[in-house]
Structures are given as C-alpha cells and as structure tokens.
Amino acid sequence: MVKDILSVNAYPDHGKKNDFWKSRLKEWTALDPPERISEVLFGLIMVLTFTGSISVSTAGKQEVRELLWAALGCNLAWGLVDAIMYLMDELIGRAHGFTQIKRMKRSDNSVESREIIRENISPFLSDLMKDEDIDRLGEKIRQLPEPSMTNALIFKDYLIGGQIFILVFLSTFPVALPFFFINDVPLAMRISNGVAVILLFSGGFFLARYAGLRPVITALAYAAIGMFLVALTIALGG
C-alpha cells in the first residue's frame, strides 16, 4: 500500500476521501498475467492428479466418468477457496497499509516517519532513497485523506475473485474432455496427457516471456516440474 503512494500526487479535496481511495484502489487492483497463468496451471495440476490415477488396463468408462466428475467437483471447490483466500489476502494487506498510513499522518517524529516508510517499501528502494527523499514522500502521505476500512475491498476485488474461480474451474475441461467423448480409454489418456503437456508448456512459455527469460527452456522446465508435481501428488495419495 505505501509503495503505491510513490505514484500518488496530493489529493486536493479531503472531503471526498472515500472517492479518492476507491479510485486509487481501482487503479492498483489487478490480477497480473503471471497470476492468471499460475491460477490456470494450479487448476491443471489439480485435475491431472485425478486423470493420472486412471488405470488404463482396468478402468471402465463409467468409472472414468465418475472420477472426472470428482475432479470437476474438486476444482470447483478449490476455485472457490482460492477466490476467498484472494479476498482475505487483499483485506489483510490493505488493512495493514491503511494502518501504516494513519501512523504516518499522526507521527510528529521525522525519525519514526522514516522508519515507517522504509519498513513498507522494498529494501531496494529503501537503499536508493536518501532521508530527504523519504521526508518528501512522508509529506505527500500526510496530505492524503485518511483511509477508512470501509474502502478496504471494492467491487473490482470481487470481480477478480470471480475471475480466479473461473480460471481454476475452467482449467479442468481441456484435460477432462477426451474422456467424455472418446470411448477408448488408452487413446483418451494419451490425448489428455498431450493436452496437459501443451498447456504446461504454454504456461511456462508465457511466464518466461513476461519475465524476460528464455521461453523454450523455461517452458520445458515448467512442463517437467508440473508433471513431477502431479506424479508426486499421486504417489502421496493426493
């Protein structure tokens, strides 16, 4: 929260403090590309723990479908849990940020104010900024309207929570669909595994491009790690 203040100019009308914080939270709140891809890969790994446990030699069509419905229900539940945990994390993080801003506004001690700011920005920025820079930032923070916990969560947060739920839930289908439409279980298994590898590779590829890493090498590593995690989960009884 305090880190975001670095980009904020003093707000001239303190009487509209609710509008100020709502507008700022709308600007700051977003599910960035790595988080979107990670949610999809999380759901993918979850459903793979089910499809990976299907026995090609003994599983019947009805048994496979029951297992896939269980996988669907599992991802439905985990999507809901993930969305709620996102909202809780946002609430706790913003409550902490609001508390730090209130401490800053009420502090008359420059040394204490600097400590508060340095504790709430990245160590890299803290090392770069001199005391004079920190003091100027402190003055900007003191000019802001005092935040209220009534603004801790906004409508956009719930939309993002819904997006997380949908991403985790929908990631079930690409891997599960072959079993619903192909009666030959071994063939369906091969197609499902192929789709899973492609999705893991694609997720790693896009994450690598976002981070500036080597896309192909990172994607291969991501696919290998994903399959390893699936195998480990199955081995541990997941």
More confident residue, 66 or 110: 110
Percent of the chain with pLDDT over 90: 22
In terms of Cβ atoms closer than 10 Å to its own Cβ (0-12, 13-18, 19+), residue 106 is exposed
Q: How far is CA 16 from CA 94, 143, 144, in A?
A: 19, 13, 11
Q: pLDDT grade, residue 14 (50/70/90)?
A: very low
How far is CA 62 from its chain centroid?
A: 35
**Considering Cα of 193, then 194, then 196, then 201, what sign does the dihedral take?**
positive
pTM value? 0.75
Do the beta carbons of residue 49 and residue 238 sit within 8 Å? yes
Q: Look up residue 54 and give its two tokens.
A: 């299907």
Question: Does 68 have pLDDT greater than 80?
Answer: no
In this model, does residue 15 exceed pLDDT 50?
A: no
- CA dist., res. 230 & res. 224, Å (int): 10
All structural domains of the chain with their residue ranges: 16-235
Amino acid at 61: K
